[in-house]
């Protein structure tokens, strides 16, 4: 008998303790078997895959490398390939499933980014890589056999496998992988999901695993109210998909949830709207497994266990952005897990009008894939406003009127949403007079700017005129995430609920899903759809007493430069809104179609790895770094303050996310030679903490072009 307690799956790294291999294999086997039952797959085969997947880590070469602190030299060693030498212990009828689970749970078998996949190594080294992975086979297979015996409950280890038989097993895998067709592997997705769960969380309680993939109870949303017209609309219709256009406050969220029949993915565009929706869903269905997924998702989780679960498969309801779903479109690393997670689920795409450029094209392609036969999701699209060209494209992608329930309010119902009078202002000086008079009249005033820099300048100027720091707030994206979250909380709790005047200056971050209601707004000129969303933050609360109450929204004349928006769309939108007149939602569609007469999405079909027939990639392969994902990454970067460098470098994942300041990648281009980047985490730029950071957030001295 061999002492195998020293054989590790993972060595100690920082705060993470070492993990004995036998413990890891058992935990993954248990998780894989539990998930297999949810996927209606063979749980015993899944369990065997869990035992086998990392058995190659017994190899002395692997044990030496995980204990080494220096660079690794020589031929690549892949423990999952060494695991395949033990296939002869299992019935040959299970070899295809076991091979799929083991051979590529870390690497694409071909065209791997590091050229370390099975077929990459075979092409580079021929049979030499097999001999290298065999090593001293007679010596290291015995402790592996004993571990496998204990895991399977056998009294004695199986007889040793001779070298020829072991080599033939790996050669069989090479031939098998070379012959695979264009399809995605359920077994690979299953094992990866189990391995990721265990690697992050260790042993999961049985009750928790059993709760995975449970549909949430949605009876809370079966409520009616005369002030919310959609609450009276039936959600029981034969069409699987939904397309809803209705103003803010019409009950869209409840209606979309009533259309759902299973697990729910709720897709929203911005961090603030996602956080708000997550909190809303937790209050509505507190017993459901609800998770949130975005760059700072852990910051709003209820407790440590829930925080750790956020990225993984099987939630009853997950709130996320379309970028988190993009990986399935482009068959990026681990896409099979996401396919399994999405299959047959209800997907709500809310506020779709906010997307533009690459992201709009991404959403349109997502709708086609989600609603198609390969994922078989029920897709529910909701928006307050949408150009007819975009509506028609979405309707087509959903399968037309036969498969899509179209919902819109009547003109009479829309007329009950006349809540604003539009006033045009020539400049900031005239706006200042309006703002100060409103504050003196005890009003809550919202000022919306198109860029962070302008918001910072307006806030500083207005604070000099109305120095009430306890009743003033600046909200934009260029604060540390923990500060941004605190500001959102203050906005909702102090400014929204407490009586008295207040002044909030913000960028577009207030446009979507923040449930706040101001008495008056002054906004920069913007495209019509953005303006409508901003209007929705004023006179938002509908009661029987205020249905005929009108509140003012003031629009500044378009500046010469209207970044980040198209100047023609901004000017046309401004001209279409009559000064001193009521804003009528019933007239909005015609105006929207004037501003957006056609839809011109970017063509990204060449990057999408699916067509009508199915996947365009062979099984057990993925695209290492999809080109379009790289383009999306260009739009994102992170900064940290120089005062936070030490905390960032020594902190865990959550601490680092709290300290990061998201910035548009293009905004950083003028500064790349000025600021250095850390190697840790998201490689943030280190910027000098401005003396007025607490007041204004991160400021740059150079021209600022983006939000």
**Residue 675 confidence class, pLDDT cut points 50, 70, 90:** confident
Supply the pLDDT for residue 705.
40
* 94 pLDDT higher than 80: yes
Supply the pLDDT for residue 446.
96
Query: What residue ranges do the domains of the chain occupy?
Result: 8-208, 213-414, 419-583, 635-696
> Do residues 448 and 524 touch, judged by C-beta distance below 8 A?
yes
Mean pLDDT of 312-323: 90
The superfamily in CATH containing domain 419-583 is P-loop containing nucleotide triphosphate hydrolases (3.40.50.300)
Mean pLDDT of 278-285: 92
- Tokens (6 digits) for 42: 């063979």
Residues in the chain, how many?
707
Parallel, antiparallel, or unpaired for β 661-663 and 637-641?
antiparallel
Supply the pLDDT for residue 14.
60
Most confidently predicted of 38-42, 276-280, 298-302, 537-541: 38-42
Least confident of 516-530, 606-620, 628-642, 673-687: 628-642
Q: Quote the CA–CA distance of 630 and 375 in Å, as a whole number.
A: 25
Instruction: Let me know if the fold of 8-208 is the same as that of 419-583.
Output: no
Supply the pLDDT for residue 294.
57
- Tokens (6 digits) for 440: 């003196």
Q: Quote the CA–CA distance of 204 and 30 in Å, as a whole number.
A: 9
For the chain, what percent of residues have pLDDT higher than 90?
A: 68
Q: What is the DSSP letter of 161?
A: P
**Residue 563 confidence class, pLDDT cut points 50, 70, 90:** confident
> Do residues 438 and 465 touch, judged by C-beta distance below 8 A?
no
Q: Quote the CA–CA distance of 45 and 64 in Å, as a whole number.
A: 31
> Do residues 99 and 81 touch, judged by C-beta distance below 8 A?
no
**Beta-carbon-side half-sphere exposure of residue 12 (alpha carbons within 13 Å):** 4
Supply the pLDDT for residue 627.
66
- Tokens (6 digits) for 61: 């070469």
Q: Which of 407, 335, 325, 331 is nearest to 366 (CA)?
A: 325
DSSP string, 625-663: S-HHHHHHHHT-EEEEEGGGHHHHHHS-HHHHHHH-EEE
Parallel, antiparallel, or unpaired for β 290-293 and 317-320?
parallel
Whether the predicted model's global pTM rises above the 0.85 cut? yes
Q: Quote the CA–CA distance of 34 and 29 in Å, as a whole number.
A: 9
Secondary structure in 3-state letters for 330-367? HCCCCHHHHHHHHCCCEEEEECHHHCCHHHHHHHHHHH
pLDDT tens-place string over residues 421-477: 999 999 999 999 999 999 999 999 999 999 999 999 999 999 999 999 899 999 998
Query: Which comes out higher in pLDDT, residue 192 or 517?
Result: 192
Supply the pLDDT for residue 569.
95
Supply the pLDDT for residue 671.
66
H-helix or E-strand containing 139? helix 137-152
* 111 pLDDT higher than 70: yes
Parallel, antiparallel, or unpaired for β 8-10 and 19-20?
antiparallel
> Do residues 519 and 539 touch, judged by C-beta distance below 8 A?
yes
* 369 pLDDT higher than 80: yes
Q: Quote the CA–CA distance of 651 and 645 in Å, as a whole number.
A: 10
Supply the pLDDT for residue 132.
95
Supply the pLDDT for residue 303.
38
* 73 pLDDT higher than 90: no
Q: What is the DSSP letter of 385?
A: -
pLDDT tens-place string over residues 235-244: 999 999 999 9
Kindly list the distances between the CA atom of residue 643 and the CA atoms of 464, 654, 657, in Å, as whole numbers in the listed order: 28, 18, 15
Q: What is the DSSP letter of 165?
A: H
Q: Quote the CA–CA distance of 26 and 204 in Å, as a whole number.
A: 11
H-helix or E-strand containing 8? strand 8-10
Query: Which comes out higher in pLDDT, residue 704 or 403?
Result: 403
Kindly list the distances between the CA atom of residue 15 and the CA atoms of 18, 66, 297, 408, 473, in Å, as whole numbers in the listed order: 10, 16, 22, 54, 38
**Residue 272 confidence class, pLDDT cut points 50, 70, 90:** low
Could you please state the CATH topology (level 3) that the domain comprising 8-208 is classified under: Hypothetical protein af1432 (1.10.3210)
Mean pLDDT of 212-232: 94
Give me the chain's average pLDDT, please. 89
Phi-psi region of 344 (alpha: psi -120 to 50; beta: other; left: phi over 0): left
Domain 213-414 top-level CATH class: alpha beta
Mean pLDDT of 246-266: 95
Supply the pLDDT for residue 271.
67
> Do residues 707 and 451 touch, judged by C-beta distance below 8 A?
yes
């Amino acid at each position: 008998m061999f002492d195998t307690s020293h054989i590790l799956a993972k060595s100690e790294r920082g705060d993470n303790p070492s993990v004995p291999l036998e413990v890891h294999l058992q935990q993954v086997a248990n998780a894989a078997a539990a998930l297999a039952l949810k996927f209606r797959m063979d749980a015993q085969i899944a369990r065997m895959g869990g035992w086998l997947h990392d058995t190659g880590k017994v190899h002395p070469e692997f044990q030496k490398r995980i204990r080494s602190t220096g660079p690794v030299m020589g031929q690549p060693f892949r423990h999952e390939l060494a695991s395949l030498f033990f296939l002869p212990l299992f019935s040959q009828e299970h070899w295809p499933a076991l091979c799929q689970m083991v051979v590529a749970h870390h690497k694409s078998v071909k065209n791997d980014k590091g050229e370390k996949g099975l077929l990459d190594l075979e092409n580079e080294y021929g049979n030499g890589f097999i001999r290298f992975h065999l090593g001293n086979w007679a010596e290291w297979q015995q402790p592996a056999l004993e571990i496998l015996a204990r895991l399977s409950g056998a009294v004695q280890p199986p007889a040793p496998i001779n070298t020829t038989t072991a080599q033939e097993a790996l050669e069989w895998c090479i031939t098998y992988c070379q012959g695979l067709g264009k399809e995605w592997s359920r077994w690979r997705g299953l094992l990866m999901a189990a391995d990721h769960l265990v690697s992050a969380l260790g042993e999961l309680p049985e009750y928790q695993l059993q709760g995975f993939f449970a549909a949430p109870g949605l009876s809370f949303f079966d409520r009616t109210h005369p002030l919310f017209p959609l609450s009276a609309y039936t959600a029981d219709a034969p069409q699987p998909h939904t397309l809803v256009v209705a103003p803010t406050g019409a009950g869209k969220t409840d209606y979309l949830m009533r259309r759902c029949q299973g697990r729910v993915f709720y897709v929203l565009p911005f961090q603030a709207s996602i956080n708000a929706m997550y909190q809303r869903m937790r209050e509505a269905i507190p017993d459901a497994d609800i998770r949130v997924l975005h760059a700072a998702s852990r910051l709003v989780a209820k407790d440590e266990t829930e925080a750790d679960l956020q990225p993984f498969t099987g939630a009853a309801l997950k709130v996320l952005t379309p970028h988190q779903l993009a990986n399935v479109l482009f068959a990026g690393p681990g896409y099979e897990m996401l396919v399994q997670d999405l299959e047959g689920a209800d997907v709500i795409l809310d506020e779709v009008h906010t997307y533009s450029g690459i992201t709009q094209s991404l959403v349109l392609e997502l709708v086609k894939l989600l609603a198609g036969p390969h994922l078989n999701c029920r897709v529910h699209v909701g928006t307050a406003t949408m150009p007819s060209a975009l509506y028609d494209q979405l309707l087509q992608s959903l399968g037309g009127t036969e498969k899509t329930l179209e919902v819109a309010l009547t003109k009479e119902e829309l007329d009950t949403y006349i809540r604003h009078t539009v006033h045009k202002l020539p400049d900031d000086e005239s706006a200042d007079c309006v703002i100060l008079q409103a504050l003196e009249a005890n009003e809550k005033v919202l000022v919306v700017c198109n860029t962070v820099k302008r918001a910072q300048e307006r806030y500083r100027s207005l604070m000099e005129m109305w120095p009430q720091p306890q009743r003033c707030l600046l909200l934009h994206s260029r604060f540390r995430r923990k500060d941004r979250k605190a500001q959102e909380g203050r906005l909702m709790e102090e400014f929204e609920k407490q009586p008295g005047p207040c002044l909030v200056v913000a960028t577009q971050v207030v446009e979507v899903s923040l449930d706040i209601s101001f008495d008056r707004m002054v906004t920069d000129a913007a495209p019509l759809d953005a303006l409508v969303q901003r209007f929705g933050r004023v006179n938002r609360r509908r009661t029987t007493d205020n249905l005929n109450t009108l509140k003012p929204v003031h629009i500044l004349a378009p500046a010469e430069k209207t970044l980040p928006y198209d100047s023609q769309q901004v000017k046309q939108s401004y001209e279409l809104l009559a000064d001193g007149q009521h804003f009528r939602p019933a007239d909005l569609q015609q105006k929207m179609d004037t501003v957006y007469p056609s839809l011109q999405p970017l063509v990204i079909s060449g990057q999408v790895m699916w067509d009508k027939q199915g996947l365009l990639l062979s099984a057990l392969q993925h695209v290492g770094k999809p080109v379009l994902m790289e383009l999306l990454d260009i739009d994102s970067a992170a900064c940290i303050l120089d005062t936070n460098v030490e905390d960032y470098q020594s902190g865990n994942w959550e601490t680092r996310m709290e300290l990061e300041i998201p910035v548009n990648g293009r905004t950083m281009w003028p500064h790349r030679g000025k600021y250095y980047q850390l190697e840790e985490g998201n490689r943030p730029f280190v910027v000098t903490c401005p003396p007025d950071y607490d007041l204004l957030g991160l400021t740059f001295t150079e021209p600022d072009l983006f939000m």
